[in-house]
Amino acid sequence: MVNTKVTLCGVELDNPIIPASGTFGYGREFAELYDINCLGSFSFKGTTLEPRLGNPTPRIAETAAGMLNSVGLQNPGVDAVIEKELPKLRQVFHKPVMANISGFSVAEYAEVARRLEDQPGIGWLEVNISCPNVHGGGMSFGADPAMAAQVTKAVRQVTKRPILMKLSPNVTDIAAIARACQEAGADGVSLINTLLAMRIDLKRRRPVLANGTGGLSGPAVKPVAVRMIYQVYEAVSIPIVGMGGVQNAEDVLELMLAGATAVEVGAANLADPFASKKIVEELPRAMEKYGVEHLSELIGGAH
């Protein structure tokens, strides 16, 4: 009998499968389709201090082996999440959930984290540092080790929960940014976020997305994710939540061999709402196929 349990920042998961933020809402829609408690956890929709309508449409586009999105962090704001979404979530999900938070200034990140601190059922804060720094010329917080560290320290000061810094792949040296986050007090890192990309409409001769560029996700990005997870694993001693193009249980094993402790499933949920459930069910068979008895023993096994 194989053992699929892993431990992420001191919290034990029945399995490492975590639907990624932005692809699973706040859980309720998927709970109408199946018992989402079969999952290890899930990362809820990226939440900001104030409500956001998101970017203009069109903001989704298909591409070969993936998709582009420029949703723009559409969400009701942290107060509405606390008041409306979390009570409903607790009715259908009985495990620790991952709270994905975003901000456009260091103070915003800290304030969102502070407001979530007393909410039951949150196991980790996943801090998305791919947002533009509105007070720093628009450069993403995750593009510079010093800025990434600044956000990490600010969030660390207002929460006792484990902090996972979600890193952008649109950088020269992702390992340096991961190290900066670890030194600033992060308990783990999540990677990779989407790759900056674009499509152009041949008839209109204009970008397909209203925002011009968007984030590429799906199978096309998996080799990039594997490479970056591998590099970060060698650079830090904190756990990694890996993601990027995961479609099946064998993809999960590959990311874990690269160094991931847990694995998020993103775009696959948009193509098939049962994708994460199917991967959970496939996992024991894949483990048996490759002679893996305890899944946790696989972490970083390719190094």
pLDDT at 10: 97
Has 131 been annotated as catalytic? Answer: yes
Catalytic residue selected from 9, 38, 131, 181: 131
Give the count of domains, the chain.
1
Q: Is residue 124 part of a domain?
A: yes
Q: Is residue 59 part of a domain?
A: no
Q: Is residue 210 part of a domain?
A: no
Q: Is residue 208 part of a domain?
A: no
Q: Is residue 92 part of a domain?
A: yes
Q: Which amino acid is at 267?
A: A
Query: Which domain range does residue 278 map to?
Result: 6-54+73-196+218-298
**199 and 192 Cβ atoms separated by less than 8 Å:** no
CATH code of the domain containing 122: 3.20.20.70
Rounded to 10 degrees, what is the CA torsion of 188, 246, 26, 213? Answer: 90
User: Which sign, positive or negative, has the C-alpha torsion 155, 156, 160, 162?
Assistant: positive
Mean pLDDT by 10 residues, the chain (303 residues): 97 98 95 98 97 94 94 95 97 98 96 97 96 70 95 98 97 97 98 96 97 95 98 98 98 98 97 97 98 97 98
Query: How far are the Cα atoms of 88, 131, 148, 162, 206 from residue 155, in angstroms, in the given order?
Result: 26, 15, 11, 10, 40
* pTM summary value: 0.97
